[in-house]
Amino acid sequence: MTVRLIVHSRRGKWKGGASLAARLLVAVTVVSLALVPGRPPTVAQARAIPQPVRHVVILSIDGARADATRAVISSALLARAAYSWTAQTTLPSSTLPAHTSMLTGVPPAVHGMRSNPDNPRGYIQIPTVFSVVTQNGGRAAAFVNKRKLLFLVRPGTAARAEYLPYPRYKMLAAVQEATRYLVQHEPRLLFIHVADPDAQGHRYGWTTEPYIAAMRQVSEAVSAILDVLMRMGRLDDSLVIVTADHGGRGRLHGGSSPEETTVPWLAFGAVQPGPIIKPVMIYDTAATAVAALGLAIPRTWLGAPVVQIVEKVR
């Protein structure tokens, strides 16, 4: 029996095809599923999905515009990805509101984080990808370039929550630190946040050479994650999501312009490569991560899985 990852159309049909990268051999008995396109699986359905992947890695590139990502990513890397260049973030298009949506599966109207404080009080109290994984017996970890994002890692919901201050830890150094933990502890969920593009965008502008230079590191950073998983023998048993919290315009972000709200959304590993046709929202990231791990999506989440292992192939 084999199962494959398929690209999910939010309100359309499931679309997929067999490929070596998308096939995982699974020696298990599977309960037949009848998933409704565009809807998260029910608790019963999620538990019935065969264990799709062992690891999910989410790489959030702070301030990465979709058009800039598309311009700098290598063609060889893109050929391995399921991707969307039209994914949308939250309003306001700011770091903390967007990351809260990314990791809680709901928009700001639900989670309530509409501002972008550097030192938010306390911790988020609603379910996150970290809490879902931990409550199901898995290990979760976060490595972030901005201390404010630790607001999203409530004590007890992750085995490791590490602040890697930028610019001491630039993109490749942060990825190296996080993947070292991946090798040593093999968490089910690993969240990595890097701040280089955002820092250069605020200082010089989102279309300047310093910003583009920061963005040129993306291919190397993603390749480093994939290479580590390959050396672990886990690449075909993993899902790597690469996205961003917001873009930017001039030296700012937070508004509703396409330059600020349109973000990249790419998936690597056990995926069927190719474009994702239907709309992707930033809060779909959480639902995708949880579903890919074979866990039940919280009923309060509004995000829908973008990529799942749900189709059986003889």
DSSP annotation string for 208-248:
SHHHHHHHTTHHHHHHHHHHHHHHTT-GGGEEEEEE-S---
Q: pLDDT tens digits for 172-191?
A: 999 999 999 999 999 999 99
- What is the mean predicted confidence (pLDDT) over 230-246? 97
Supply the pLDDT for residue 141.
99
pLDDT of residue 20 exceeding 70, the answer is no
Q: Give the rounded percent of residues in the chain with a pLDDT score beyond 70.
A: 81
Q: Do the bridges between strand 274-275 and strand 82-88 make them parallel or antiparallel, or are there none, so unpaired?
A: parallel
Report the mean per-residue pLDDT for the chain: 86
**How many domains are contained in the chain?**
1
pLDDT for residue 5: 45
User: What was the pLDDT predicted at 52?
Assistant: 84
pLDDT digits (tens, 9 = 90+) for 122-176: 999 999 999 999 999 999 999 999 999 999 999 999 999 999 999 999 999 999 9
In the chain, the percentage of residues whose pLDDT exceeds 90 is 79
Domain of 37 in residue numbering reads as 2-313
Mean pLDDT along residues 90-99:
99
Indicate the length of the chain as a whole number: 314
In this predicted structure, what is the pLDDT of residue 145?
99
pLDDT band of residue 51 (cuts 50, 70, 90) is low
| Per-residue tokens: 230 | 């390959």
User: What is the predicted pLDDT for the residue at 307?
Assistant: 65
Q: pTM for the full model?
A: 0.85
Torsion angles phi and psi, residue 194, rounded to 5 = -125, 145
Residues 56-61, mean pLDDT to the nearest whole number = 99
State yes or no: pLDDT of 236 exceeds 70.
yes
- Rounded to whole angstroms, the Cα distance separating 185 from 191 reads 14
pLDDT tens profile 249-297: 999 999 999 999 999 999 999 998 999 988 999 999 999 999 999 999 9
Q: Per-residue confidence at 115, pLDDT binned at 50, 70, 90?
A: very high
- Long-range contacts, 222-227 (Cβ 8 Å, 24+): 222/59, 222/73, 222/77, 222/266, 222/268, 223/77, 224/172, 224/175, 224/176, 224/179, 225/57, 225/59, 225/175, 225/179, 225/192, 226/80, 226/268, 226/269
Whether 33 shows a pLDDT value over 90: the answer reads no
Structure tokens at 19: 């490929």
Query: Is pLDDT above 80 for 226?
Result: yes
CATH code for the domain of 47: 3.40.720.10
Whether residue 295 contacts residue 133, with contact meaning beta carbons closer than 8 Å, is answered with yes
User: Could you tell me if residue 198 is left (phi over 0), alpha (psi between -120 and 50 degrees) or otherwise beta?
Assistant: alpha
